[in-house]
Structure 1
Amino acid sequence: MKGIRGLITAGAAAVVMSGAASSGAQAASAGSGSRASTPVEPVVVELFTAQGCSGCPEANALLEGLAGRPGVIALTYAVDYWDYLGWPDTFAQPAFAERQRAYQDRLRLRDVYTPQVIIDGSRQFSGARAAEIESVVEEEAGRLIFMPEVEFREAGDRVGVGSGRAPEGGAEVWLVRYRSGPQIVQVSQGENRGLEVRHANVVREVTRLGEWRGRPILLNLPEPSEDGLHMAVLVQAMDDGRILAAAAR
């Protein structure tokens, strides 16, 4: 679908990402130093999609495939700006469209659209460009890491971010809770009328936990609004939106 400017109202700050003890990464306490230069940081893939978008089911399938890979944190954000076409998206929340609008500003894009894929907060692609997205995920998975550790505490009620070089302006720490695995919605109106639209790792809530400015911090995790949700924590640069570190569980 083509993007439409102005349908999303400006709002609360962007949402973001998922946590679990970082995929393949060694755990480190909030007081530990920056991680060694080994390629263990998860690749964060965010898909902005809509049940009323005819081009989105294929992108949803791509995201589901990436979600099954070790070292990838894959998240599906449903947006609501196509609801006027006749089908109100059952997973959409205004905050998710606001997050996408934040990427639009940071990446200097003309508009928002679906399906859109953002990789590590810094590179964007049409969800139809599956081969290119797969290639970039592989490329990002091999990069050397000099970022802080993100570690969930055993009780599951706190998360630590270790020390490291923070970007100018610091970084925000986001908690993203999502429903793992596939979810299927029968769409009865709009462009996908009569289809069963399949989703994976559907984001249900996003919470800003605090700021990270290079020193170790320990943050409390709020209670989830639903049972059975997985969580991801993203450390995201305030200036350009780069995801500096992430973990999911």
Structure 2
Amino acid sequence: MHLNPASGAATFELQNQKYMKPKTIITFVALAALVLITVSFVNKSCASPKQPEVVAGNGIAVLELFTSEGCSSCPAADALLAHVQEAAGDKPVYYLAYHVDYWDRLGWKDIFSSRRNSERQYQYSSYLNAQVYTPQLVINGQTECIGSDAVAVKQAIHEALNQTSGLAVTLQGRQQGQLMHVNYAVTGNAGADRLLVAVVQKQAISQVKRGENGGRTLKHAQIVQQFYDFKIARNNQGTVEVPVPAAFNAQEWEVIGWLQQPQTGAIHAATRVVLNNTVALY
């Protein structure tokens, strides 16, 4: 796990191990052995599945992973969440991967990273009174865990799917050039909730040449290329315009929308945009 520096002073758990003094290393090894024994004992009663089952209730699970190509701990989380997305099938599980930019200075610039993604993670840090690190997974804007922890991820999804908010949203999209016209309709009392819409690239592969993942080929899923924030009309329905890339097509991209409370970060409803006339890729 990589902790994000609070104000320019870097704190890297993995990297600092390289510079530990011998005495510290001995202590670390002893502690690691103790942790290994403890984990082994725990796993006898609660095994850690590599492929967590997704059990559906009546709620939704919006999984926002904050990740980076410059973080050696992140590929495991990327792979786990990609599997969760696939295993969910038609269940209301929505995976969004935000590539942050604060690790770009470590020798490799993540081509999918953006400052806005990092700012969204910092906002969650404020909502949840939590540290900022990668890979960090935020579930329904209400709880967070390490994105590569299969047991914690499974439990968080289970809890999310078994909570209901009384809200629902439907989204219909019509593409016109590089603009998506999205008709929305909200059922229930939206209150101060806002409509957020993300343009998502389903898959990508990167050849990382430098940094902690130097020499590795990384597979990415559900990459948030851009996201937008809209006010919901008083009558709970309307149309918003969402810019999409020139390469946008129904096979390789999708648009996901959700209702989020701006004061608390809680997400109350989510769905995929039904694309009526989006260009197909053959």
1:48 aligns with 2:72: no
Deviations 1:165-220 (A, max 9, x none): 345xx11211101011x32111110001111111111111111122466x412132
Structure 2 regions of 5+ residues with no counterpart?
9-55, 176-180, 274-282
For 2:5, the equivalent position in structure 1 comes to 4
Of all paired residues, the percent bearing the same amino acid is 29
For 2:256, the equivalent position in structure 1 comes to 232
Residue pair 2:171, 2:185 contacting (<8 A) in 1 also: no
Q: CA deviation at 1:132?
A: 1.1
Within 5 Å, give how 1:113-124 maps onto structure 2: 113-124=133-144
Secondary structure in 2 aligned to 1:153? Answer: strand
Deviations 1:132-189 (A, max 9, x none): 1112212222233411x2112364622323242345xx11211101011x32111110
For 2:81, the equivalent position in structure 1 comes to 63
Residue pair 2:171, 2:257 contacting (<8 A) in 1 also: no
Secondary structure in 1 aligned to 2:133? Answer: coil
1:84 aligns with 2:105: yes
For 1:16, the equivalent position in structure 2 comes to none
For 1:173, the equivalent position in structure 2 comes to 195
Taking a change above 3 Å as real, the CA distance of residues 41 and 219 of structure 1, as seen in their structure-2 partners, is farther
Residue pair 1:39, 1:145 contacting (<8 A) in 2 also: no
Secondary structure in 1 aligned to 2:69? Answer: coil
Secondary structure in 1 aligned to 2:243? Answer: coil
- For 2:103 and 2:174, the matched residues in 1 are separated by 40
Q: CA deviation at 1:92?
A: 0.5
Aligned residues: 213
1:141 aligns with 2:172: no
Within 5 Å, give how 1:1-249 maps onto structure 2: 1-6=2-7, 39-68=57-86, 69=88, 70=90, 71-109=92-130, 111-147=131-167, 149-153=168-172, 155=174, 157-167=181-191, 170-180=192-202, 182-211=203-232, 215-226=235-246, 227-228=248-249, 229-249=253-273
Taking a change above 3 Å as real, the CA distance of residues 230 and 200 of structure 1, as seen in their structure-2 partners, is same
Deviations 1:98-150 (A, max 9, x none): 110110111112x3110000000110111232211112212222233411x21
- For 1:55 and 1:153, the matched residues in 2 are separated by 37
What is the RMSD of the two structures over their aligned residues, measured on CA atoms? 2.0
Deviations 1:54-93 (A, max 9, x none): 1001000111012111321001110110011100001001
TM-score of the superposed pair, with normalisation by structure 1? 0.79
Structure 1 regions of 5+ residues with no counterpart?
8-37
Q: Which runs of 4+ in 1 moved over 3 A?
A: 38-41
Aligned residue identity for 1:65: H
Taking a change above 3 Å as real, the CA distance of residues 216 and 74 of structure 1, as seen in their structure-2 partners, is same
TM-score of the superposed pair, with normalisation by structure 2? 0.70
- For 1:128 and 1:237, the matched residues in 2 are separated by 27
Taking a change above 3 Å as real, the CA distance of residues 81 and 211 of structure 1, as seen in their structure-2 partners, is same
